[in-house]
Structure 1
Amino acid sequence: MPPLLLALDAPLATEPSLTGGKGATLARLRQRGFPVPDGAVVTTELFDRVTDDPAIERLRDRLERADEDDTPARRAIAADLRRAIRDRSVPADLRDALTATLPDGPYAVRSSGTSEDSPDASFAGQYETTLGVAGGDLAGAILACLASLFSDRAVAYRARNDLATAALSMAVVVQRVVDADVSGICFSADPLTGTRSVSVIDAGRGLGEAQVSGTATADTLRVDRTDGSVLAYHVGADRTDPVLTDRDATALVRIAARIEDTLGRPQDVEWAIADGEIAVLQARPITALYPVPEREPPGGDVRVYYSFGHRQGMPEAMPPLVLDIWETEVEFVREHFGLAERFGATAGGRLYIDLTAYLTSPWVRDRLVRNLDIVDRPAANALRTLSEDHPEAIASPAGPGSGGLGPLRTLRSTWPLLRAMVGSIPGSMLDSTPAATLDGIRRQYTDAGDAAIERIDAAEAPAERFTTAGRELESAIDWLLDPFYGPLLSAMLAGAALRRLVPEEADSVDALALGIEGDVVYRMTRQLGELADVARESPAVATALTDGDTPSRADLAALDGSEAFLDAFDGFLSTYGFRAIGEIDVSRPRYREDPTPLLTVVASTLETRAGTTQNDIDVALRARAGAAETRLIRAAPAPVAPLVRRLIRTHRGYLGIRELPKFALARLLAELREAALAAGDELTGRGALPDAGDVWLLTVAEVTQGLSDPRTLSGIDIAGRRREFERDRRLTPPRIITSTGYVPPQRDSEPAADRRLHGTGAAPGVVEGTATVVTDPRTQRVGRGDVLVAAYTDPGWTPLFVNAAVVTEVGGRLTHGSLVAREYGIPAVVAVDGATEALAEGSRVRVDGTNGVVEILE
C-alpha cells in the first residue's frame, strides 16, 4: 500500500502520481539543493481512501456526465462533493505520522493536484492554500485541500482545458511557514512579451497576502538575465521606497534561471526572503508562453521568425511527420531559387521562416513590410513594432559577412527568384490570347501531375512508395512554379495599371474576377452548386440533406430516387476528391475518404438557394464582370481605351492561374498521404507501431528507417509525442516571434473602437448579416444572410463562401480566401485579430470589405 505521508527529502516524493505536481516539483528542487523549506506531502493515497465512498463516487460520476453548458448544475454537484469530502475524517495513522514528522509551529498547507503544474495547465490559484495552520488544525486544512479539487474555478478550468476529472487525484503539501520580510513571484521569462532574456519580479512586504488580495500593489522589476542588471523598477502605488534591493533581485533571477534549467522550461517561482535568506516556496511552468523556434544550425544572434502557417492561411499545429515534410519542402524551395541561408525553424507544431537576413537592411525591410501589408497586415504591424521597440533585434554589423542583405546583396542573392518571377512578364503582357495560353498551362500542369502520380503508383513496396512520393513532392517545384509567375504577375500588373488609368472605376477591377471559367476553384464550387440542383430534383435526397444532421453517402444510397444525385456526386469526387479542409496538413482526410463536408455544403446550398440554380448564379457573375468591363472602357480617356481593353483581357485571362499550382500540389499531397498511411499499415503489421495512424507522430527519417528495420522505432515514446501534439494544438501561435521568445504586439495604425474591428479589406462591398462562427467546416452550415467568421480559411472552405460574407483572423488581399471572395463578389475582411472571440455567435454585424472594417451592430 502506498505511504500516506512522505518527507520532501524522500526519493518517492518526486513522483507526481503520489505527491501531485506541486509536491513532486518541490521535492525535486529540494533534492537538487534549492532552498525549499522543510516539509512533507500527504500523498494521493489519502484522497483515494477519502473518496472511496459510494456517495462520493456517484457525485463524481454525475459531475463527469453533466452538460458542460449547464453551469448551475455543475456548481451544485461540485458543492455537494466538497461538503462530502470535508465531512470525512483523516485516518489515525496519518495523524500520528504528521505529529511524528512535523514539529510544532505554523504551517502552510497547499493543494497539489496530479495534473497541477504540468506542461498542459498550471492550475495556478485554482486549489486551496491555507497559511499559518497549527498542528491541531492540520486535519481540517488537509481535507479542505482535497475538497478543492472540485472548486467551481477548478472544475471550470478543467472544462476549458479539456481535462477529464475522473482520472485526477490530490495530494497536500505541508511546509513550515517562512516568516518573510519580503515575498513575491519571479518569472524566469517575461510572461507578457515572451522574452526569455528578461525576468520579471513582483515583490511586496511580508507574505504577500495584500498583493494577492488586491489591497496593495506589488513592486515590479524587469531584470536582464544575462548579467542580472535591473532594467526597470516600479515601486507599488502605496509606497515610496523599494522593498527589494538590486542584489536580491539578481539573486532571485539566478535561482529562477537555475530552476528553469532543472525543470526544462520557463517557470513562475514563488519565493520569500527572511533574514536575508531566500526560500523557494513553489514553482510552476509559465504555460502561456509560446515555444521558441528551434533552428538548425542554431545561431548566436537574435533571429526573427514568421509563421509559415499564417502565410498559408492554415495556422493550426501539424503532427511531426507533416511538419518534417514541410520543413524539408521549404528548404528545397530555398535551394531551388539559390537563396543561401537555411531559414526553416519549428515551434509548437508549426513551421517558421527565418526573416532575419531580410530585416537588417532598411531598404529590404521596408519592401518586405509593404508586401506583408498586402498579404498579412498584422504581421507587417508586428514587424514595425519590433523595429521601433527592439531595433537591436534587427541590427546587424555592416560588412559582407554580417548576414544582412542590402540592396545589392539582395539583388545578387535573390536574382534566380527575381529572374523566374519577372522574366516571362513581357511575353505575357503582350500575349493577345491569354485565356488560350492559360488553357495550355493548365494542360501542362495536368500532364506533369499525371506523370508524377504514375511514378508514385509504379512503386509497389510501402518504403519505395513513401520515398517516391516525397521525392516527387520536392521535384514538383520545378514544374509548379516556373509557368506560374509570368501570367500571375501580368494579371496583377494589369489590374494595378487599370486602377491607375481609370481611378474613378478602381472598384470595378475587382469585379473583373467574377465567374472566371479558367479558375479551378470556381469550377469546383460551380459543380458543387450543380450537385445541389441535382439533389433538388429528388425530394427524398433534398429532405435527407436538409432535415437534421448531414447524412452519409450510405444513408443517401438507401433512398429511392437517389441514383442521379449519387452518380453526380461520385463524378465530383473523382475530379476533386483529393482535396480537403486544411489540405496542407497531409494527416487530414481527403474528401474521397470523408465526403461529409461536401454534403454539408450541398445541404446549406439547398437551404439558402431556393428557386435559384447554379446557372442563374453563373449568368449573374458573368453579367457583373461584363458590366465592370463596360464601365472601365467607357470611363477611360479615348487615347488609352485600346490599352484598357488589352489590360482587361490580360487581367481576366490570366487571373485564373492563381490556384493552378495549389490545385496540382494538392494532388501530390493526397498521394503522399496514401503512401504515409500505407507505411503506417506496414509498420503496424510488423509490430513497430500500436496503430497505423501513429505514423504521423514520426519523422520522415524514422518512417524510412522503420520500414527498413522496425526495431529502429522501439525506443520512440509514441504516447508522449501524441500528448505533445495535443498540447501544441491548444497553443495560439504568434505571427512573428524572435529567438529570445519575444512576440511583438500588433499595433494597428487604425485602433479598433469598442464596436469596430479593423482588418484588411479583401473583397469590396458592404453587407449586414448574422455572425456564424465556424470552427468545423465539415459539419457546420452557413445560412442565407449569415457572415462566415473563422480563424482562417483554405481551399477546403471555399464552398461555404457562396452563401456569406467572410471575416477571418488570418490572411491578406492575395490569400486564397480573399481571391475567392472577390471572384464571387462577396465582401470580405481578413487579418482581423480576435474576430472569432469579438464577434459572438448570432450577433448582427456590418462587413465593409472596401475599407476593412467590421462593425458590431447588436
Structure 2
Amino acid sequence: MSPVPVAPERPEAPVHVLPLASCADDDVAALVGGKASGLGRLISQGLPVPPGFVVTTDAYRAGVAAAGLGPRIDQLLAGAGTPSGDHEVSERIRALFVDTVITSDVAAAVRAAYAGLGHGSAAADGDHEQGIPVAVRSSATAEDTADASFAGQQETYLWIRGADDVVARVLDCWASLFTAQAIGYRARLGVPVEDVAMAVVVQTMVPAEAAGVLMTLEPTTGDRSRVYIESAFGLGEAVVRGDVTADRYWVAKETLTLTAEQINPKEKAWRFDAQADALLFTDVPAELQKTPSLRTEEAVALAGVGRRVEEAFGFPVDIEWAFGPADADGQRELFTLQARPETVWSRRPAPPATAAQPAETAQPAETTPTATAPVVDPYDDWDPLHDPSAPELHWSTSNLGEAMPGMLTPLSWSLWSPVVEHAPREAARAIGGLTRAESRVPADVSQRYIRIFYGRPAMQAEFLALLGDRMPGTTGPDAVASILGRVPEDIAFAPTARRYPSVAWRLPVTFATAPKKARQLARETDEWWRASLARVDQLGHADLLALLQDAARRHDYAVTLQSILILSTMQPLYDTLRKIVERAGVGDIATLGGVGGAEMAVVADIWRASRGELTVEDVVGRHGFHGPFEGELSSRVWREDDSPLRKIIEDYARRDDSADPVAREQARRLQLAEAQREVVAALPVTGRPAARTALRLAAARLPLRGVPKRSFLQAFDVARACARRIGALLAADGRLADPEEVFHLTVDELTGDPAGGHHRAGGPPPGAPRPVPAGDHSG
C-alpha cells in the first residue's frame, strides 16, 4: 500500500473552500464533513475521483453567525420531538436560509473555486449555458460511521451549471441539515445540534453510461470474502433510490474472479437531456434493457477498487461509482464518487466466508424444509419491525423493496405482513405447487417465508427452492439463483414430481381465469377508492376501523391476485416467448410483450397535463394514490401533496412533442404487428399456428401485469386515509401526542385485537402508543 500523503494542518484562520485532495487527514474532518473526508482518502490512494472542492463548515458557521440564526434555530428545535413537530420545525428553520446567509467572501470563494474547475468567465456572471456541470452534495459533520447511517437525509443536486446556481445550491444544502428526517434521526441518536455543521462538496459531473454501488461484503449474509455490485444504465441515482431493478454481480475478493451475475431488465435510466436541459428519467431502448450494464472486466476492476479501499480504510465499505463514456477503443473510465462505512454487518462479528455443508438428508416432498424450532430473542419478541430467523436460512430483499420501500413503520408492516405471506402461498396453491394446508399462513412467525429484519422485509430463498423442486420446467437451484443470483452451498434441495398432476390441471384453469378477475377487480376497486376517500373525513372511530379492515381485505385480495397472475400467466408467457424467439432466431421479448397497461395510463395523463389538456387536479383525481414511497402508509401521495407530480409535469412540459408517449405507444403497436409476422415467418410451417396463438395471448395478457398493482395501491391508500383520520381523532382525544404517531402502532393495537397475529408479548397493550423506534433500524 502506498503511503498516505499528509494533508496540511488546519489553519487557525477560517477556511471557506478546500480542494478535495486536502480533505484526507483526520485533522480537517470536522472542517469538511464525512463525504469530503471519504473522497479525500480516495484521492490519497490514487483512485480516480472527479475534480472538485468542498465548501467548509467554517463557511457554514460564518453564514449562520452573520445572519444571527443560531439562537433562532435553537428556539425552533425546542418544538421538535414528534413527527409532525419535526416537519413544522424543519420548514420554519429551512425558510431562514435566504440568500443573505451566504456572506460575500464565502460566495466569492465558491465562485473562484468553481471557475478553477476548468470553466471560463461565465462563472462570474452566472451564465447558465456556459457553466461546467457539477454535482453539489451535502457533507455533514455527523456523517456516516460504522454505527450510524445518515445516507439520504441531506440534499444532493445534480447537473448544476453556472456560479449563481452553484452558490444557491450550497445554501440549499446548508438548509438540508434541518430536514425533518435529519432532525428526528439526530435526536434519536442523541447528537446535539451544536455538534453538527454542513460542508458542501462540489464536483464535476460524470456523464455516466453505467453507475451504481458496491459493497465489500455480501449484503444478505455478511460474507466478507465477496464484493457485491449493483449496476444500471445512466446515473447511479436509479440504483441508490431503487428506481430500477439493477444488474447484480458477485466477485471473489481474494482472486478477483466473477463468481455470479444476475442481469435484470432495466427499463429506465437517469440521463441528462440536452433538449430539455434537465435530468430526466428516460426509457431505455427495448433492445438494450436486458443487456448487461457492465462487462466482466469492468465488474472485476470495480471489485479491485473496493478491495483496495477497504484495505485503506480498515473496515467494509459502501462505494458509489460511475463509468464514463467509452473512448475510441471502447474503454470506459471508472470514477469513484463516494465511499462510506457499511453500517449493518459492520456492527456484528464477521461471519465465516462459507457456511459448513450440512449432511445430506432426504426431505418429504410435501413438507416445508424450513420447519425449525422457534428462535426466542427478547428484542425480537416485542419489536414489530424485526423477526426471528434460524441462522441457516437465506434471505433476500430483492423484489420486495419496490412494493415496500425503505424502512417500514409498524402500521405499514402490520398491513403488509399477512398479505405478503398469504399471497405467494395462495398463488403457489393456485397453480398446483402447494397443498391447501401448506398455503395457510402459519401463526408462528418463525415458520413464515416473508419476514422483516431491522425494518426491511425479506423473502426466504428456501421457499423458492421448494417451489422450484416441485414445478415442471424449472429446478430448485434455478429458482434460488433467480433471486439470490447464485446458489448457496448449504441449501438442501428435494426435487419431486409428486405435484406435477396437480400443476397439470390447476395451472391451465388459473391461466384462463386470472386475467378476467384482474380486469373486474380494477373496475370495482377504482369506484370503491373514490367513494371511500370521499367519506373518510365524516366517519367516526368505529367506522374508520371498519373501513380500515375492509381496505386490508381488499389489499390482501389484490396482492394475492397479482401474485397469481405472475405465476400463472406472466411467467409462463415470458418463458414461451423466449422459446419462440430462440427457435425463430428473430424478434425480441420486449416488443412481443405487448403495449399499454396501467402504467401507460398514468404516463399518458401526465403528458396531457403537461400540454394543458388536463389539470393537475384531473391527474390527482385519477391517480392520486401514487407518490413517493407509496408502499409506506406514512408517506404522502399525490392526493395529499401534489408537488412531486407538478415537478414531473414541468419536466414533461420541457420535452419536445416528439416525446409524446401516446404517439410512441401507437408506433410500438405497429412494430408489434410487424414483429409478430416476422417471427411467425421464420418458424417451420407446422409450428406457426401454435406460435400465432402464443404471440396473440402474450400481447393481450402481459400488459395486465400492472392492473392488480393499481388496485392494491388504491386499497392501501384508503388504509392510509383511515390511519391519518384515526391519528387525528386519537390526538384530539389526548391519546396520542401527535397524529402521525398512529403509524407507530400496529393494526391490532388500533383495533384492540392482540390475537390478530401482529401483537407481540412485551409490546405495548392494544391501543397504547408505541414509542417512536430508536435509530437501530435506520442503518
Please give the range of the TM-score, normalised by the shorter of the 2 chains: 0.3 to 0.5
Larger Cα-atom Rg: 1
Give the TM-score normalised by the residue count of structure 2: 0.45
